[in-house]
Amino acid sequence: MKTSVSLTILGVYNALMGVMCLLMPGDMGAAAIGEANAANPELLEMATMFHYGIGHAISMCGLILLMIRKSAMDTAKNALLAYCIGTALLLTLFATVFSNTPVMEFSLEMAVPDILAMGVALFGYFKAK
């Protein structure tokens, strides 16, 4: 697989997720904390602010990945490796912190898109052309 294809898929996914965080932070915050906790206005506000804060960072990562699609192979592979490391850290947080807190209703289904994205990054890294 060409690294540009992997970078395009990951860039579009991250850019869209970032835009969703910025356009629908309340909905995404409510989904993160779950129905039972959504009745707490302070907790819902905190989750909403979190999505406002993280939205620009996710969008920025997506745009960077899109803009380096035509870079040298070594640069593209380093970006894919960095994406894998960052996603591995995120999945570790999902499995340890997020799944063990009473203020979030975390389930494996919430991590599926990130697991698939990591698969794309790993495939692009190891099968780079």
Q: What is the pLDDT of residues 17-47, one digit of tens each?
A: 999 999 999 999 888 888 888 788 999 999 9
Torsion 33-38-42-45 (CA) sign: positive
Number of residues that this document lists for the chain: 129
Contact call for residues 81 and 125 (beta carbons, < 8 A): yes
- The pTM assigned to this predicted structure is 0.88
Give the span between the Cα atoms of 21 and 47, in whole angstroms.
11
Residue spans of alpha helices (H) in 39-104: 41-67, 73-96
User: What pLDDT, on the 0 to 100 scale, is given for residue 36?
Assistant: 81
Contact call for residues 104 and 34 (beta carbons, < 8 A): yes
For residue 43, what are its two tokens? 């907790």
**Residue 17 one-letter amino acid:** M
Give the span between the Cα atoms of 17 and 10, in whole angstroms.
10
Q: What is the pLDDT of residues 77-124, one digit of tens each?
A: 999 999 999 999 999 998 888 888 888 877 888 889 999 999 999 999
